[in-house]
């Protein structure tokens, strides 16, 4: 055999062996790296949940729910918005808002009381919402180009909100030691946001094969969520035994209690926070739809730092800014203990109003992107404040109803803001409308923060006895404030009262001493002295100018 053939064969063998060893090392490194990432994520998840197994599973459930909702949003957005002309897109989005979201307002009086009366079945309620969303997501994929899309999308939305209500009501039962309600809610939102970001590329890749494929992937994810919901610890439910109500009796309240604490002292804080969060949520919905159509119509420049991004690039930048703002809100909430929610909301509204005014004056893609980040971040923090207020100040027997009403208010606020965003404003005029709403919201937030300056949250659900004590303290403060106002009004009236009354004509008798105005006993006009000679009367005083 020639020496050259032997050397070539040896070189080829060494090359192949080196390649095999490199692939083996790469595979081993990938496996080890994946194991390290998995272990690190598991440790971070357990640490974020305070080592509580039930809360870890609740985080997993919320991550799965957010991942499925992200895939549904990708499928619907590609069908309703991107693949149609501008005018048709406006009408389709308006029809989607009308058919799917507005009827959700009718579910709050039904879903909340039912979940309140069946508190011992929250795990099964969560599993049912997951199973229903899996079925409806697959149904949407079959009717994605027909009218059947809208009722199925409404069902997905309704079940998604029912899941949020049941989850929020179950979180206080799984709260670990050393963590506040707002912190747990923010950490769950972080896991949900990360899960949505991880599945978004999968959804976009599936959308390349067809708009129905992200929805089918979402169906599989929701089935996984159903299994996780069934594996939640029994502590997520209320304490047994629980009497199952008769049909239709679950919709009545014999105690006269009202959701959101309406008519009670604790309701002032909850409703004030809810109104502030609804205002910011409406602004979020307005910016989302208004900027989408503004960019598509060419009313907003797509140039950023001297580079033209194009319509799709600018739209992706605005959507990414809203997503980044939401993530920042949840990231800040993981370390934030909310004690004064009204003061926190008023500060956020002032910042949003200031940035909106600057975006109106210096109308550009950069300023609009900054406004989206700030508005989304403050809207997320305001939502955390509302959840913490309800979980702490509302009794467990009314907690699900209160969350149902709050979710309905926030959803309708988003719909109202999005509906306003469908109006074909010019770009700068639309941002000016947002700035005006922001300024009014900031003024209202400052007023409510001053009125509720004595209200503080402690970061844990209060017992019924503590709630009663809190209401008594609130009543005492309200009575004290009313007494102070009455005393101040009386002092002001005394300051402006005349020191001497006008003489009474006709020689009539003077008024009784207890009815006399201030200063009357010092100077009494002679014209008021009668000729009565009764010995029981006080000595009469003559006027300064009379002759003795």
What are 339-396's pLDDT values in tens digits? 888 999 999 999 999 999 999 999 889 999 999 999 999 998 998 888 888 877 787 7
Distance CA 320, CA 458 (A): 34
Non-local (6+) Cβ contacts of 139 within 8 A are 148, 152
What are 429-471's pLDDT values in tens digits? 999 999 999 999 999 999 998 888 878 777 666 665 666 666 6
**Region 186-199 average pLDDT:** 82
CA geometry: angle at 42 spanning 40 and 48, to 5°?
Answer: 100
pLDDT at 123: 82
Distance CA 499, CA 517 (A): 8
Give per-residue burial for 461-473: e unless 16+ CB within 10 Å, then b.
bbeeeebeebbee
Whether the CB-CB separation of 62 and 170 falls below 8 Å is answered with no
Q: Which residue has the tokens 């208004």?
A: 290
pTM above threshold 0.75:
no
Whether the CB-CB separation of 161 and 256 falls below 8 Å is answered with no
Cα distances (angstroms) measured from residue 289 to each of 295, 346, 358, 450 = 10, 25, 20, 34
pLDDT at residue 406 is higher than 60:
yes
- Ramachandran assignment for 33, one of left (phi > 0), alpha (psi -120 to 50 degrees), beta (any other): alpha
Whether the CB-CB separation of 359 and 239 falls below 8 Å is answered with no
Least confident of 3-12, 201-210, 365-374: 3-12
| Residue among 223, 208, 243, 270 at smallest CA distance from 448 | 270
Other CB atoms within a 10 A radius of the CB of residue 487 amount to 10
Indicate the DSSP class of residue 300.
S
| Residue among 310, 315, 271 at smallest CA distance from 293 | 315
Cα of 293 vs its chain's centroid, Å = 25
């Amino acid at each position: 055999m020639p020496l050259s053939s032997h050397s070539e064969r040896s070189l080829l063998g060494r090359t192949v062996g080196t390649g095999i060893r490199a692939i083996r090392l790469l595979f081993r490194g990938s496996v080890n790296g994946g194991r390290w990432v998995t272990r690190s994520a598991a440790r971070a998840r357990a640490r974020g949940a305070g080592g509580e197994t039930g809360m870890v599973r609740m985080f997993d459930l919320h991550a799965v729910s957010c991942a499925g909702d992200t895939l549904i949003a990708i499928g619907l957005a590609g069908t309703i918005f991107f693949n149609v002309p501008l005018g048709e897109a406006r009408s389709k989005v308006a029809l989607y808002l009308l058919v799917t979201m507005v009827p959700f307002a009718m579910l709050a009086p039904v879903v909340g009381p039912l979940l309140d009366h069946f508190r011992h079945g929250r795990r099964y309620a969560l599993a049912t919402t997951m199973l229903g969303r899996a079925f409806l997501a697959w149904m949407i994929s079959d009717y994605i180009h027909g009218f059947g899309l809208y009722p199925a999308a409404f069902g997905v939305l309704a079940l998604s909100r029912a899941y949020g209500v049941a989850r929020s009501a179950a979180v206080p039962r799984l709260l670990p030691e050393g963590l506040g309600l707002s912190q747990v809610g923010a950490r769950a939102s972080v896991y949900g946001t990360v899960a949505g970001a991880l599945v978004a590329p999968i959804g976009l890749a599936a959308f390349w094969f067809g708009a129905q494929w992200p929805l089918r992937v979402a169906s599989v994810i929701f089935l996984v969520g159903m299994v996780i919901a069934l594996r939640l610890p029994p502590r997520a439910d209320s304490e047994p035994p629980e009497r199952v109500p008769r049909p239709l009796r679950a919709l009545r309240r014999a105690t006269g209690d009202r959701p959101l604490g309406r008519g009670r002292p604790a309701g002032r804080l909850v409703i004030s926070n809810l109104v502030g969060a609804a205002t910011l949520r409406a602004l979020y919905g307005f910016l989302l739809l208004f900027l989408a159509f503004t960019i598509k119509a060419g009313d907003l420049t797509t140039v950023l730092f001297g580079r033209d991004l194009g319509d799709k690039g600018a739209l992706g930048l605005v959507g990414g800014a809203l997503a980044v703002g939401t993530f920042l809100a949840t990231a800040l909430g993981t370390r934030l203990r909310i004690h004064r929610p009204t003061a926190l909301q008023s500060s956020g509204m002032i910042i949003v109003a200031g940035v909106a005014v600057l975006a109106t004056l210096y109308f550009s893609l950069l300023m609009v992107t900054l406004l989206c980040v700030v508005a989304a971040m403050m809207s997320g923090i305001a939502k955390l404040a509302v959840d913490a207020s309800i979980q702490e100040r509302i009794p467990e027997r009314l907690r699900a109803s209160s969350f149902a009403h709050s979710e309905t208010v926030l959803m309708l606020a988003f719909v109202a803001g999005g509906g306003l965003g469908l109006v074909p404003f010019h770009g700068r005029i639309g941002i000016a409308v947002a700035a005006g709403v922001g300024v009014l919201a900031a003024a209202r937030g400052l007023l409510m923060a001053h009125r509720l300056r004595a209200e503080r949250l402690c970061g844990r659900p209060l017992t019924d006895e503590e709630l009663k004590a809190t209401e008594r303290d609130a009543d005492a403060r309200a009575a004290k404030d009313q007494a102070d106002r009455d005393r101040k009004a009386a002092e002001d009236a005394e300051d402006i009262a005349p020191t001497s009354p006008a003489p009474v004509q006709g020689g009539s008798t003077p008024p009784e001493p207890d009815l006399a105005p201030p200063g009357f006993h010092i100077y009494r006009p002679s014209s008021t002295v009668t000729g009565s000679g009764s010995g029981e009367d006080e000595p009469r005083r003559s006027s300064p100018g009379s002759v003795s």
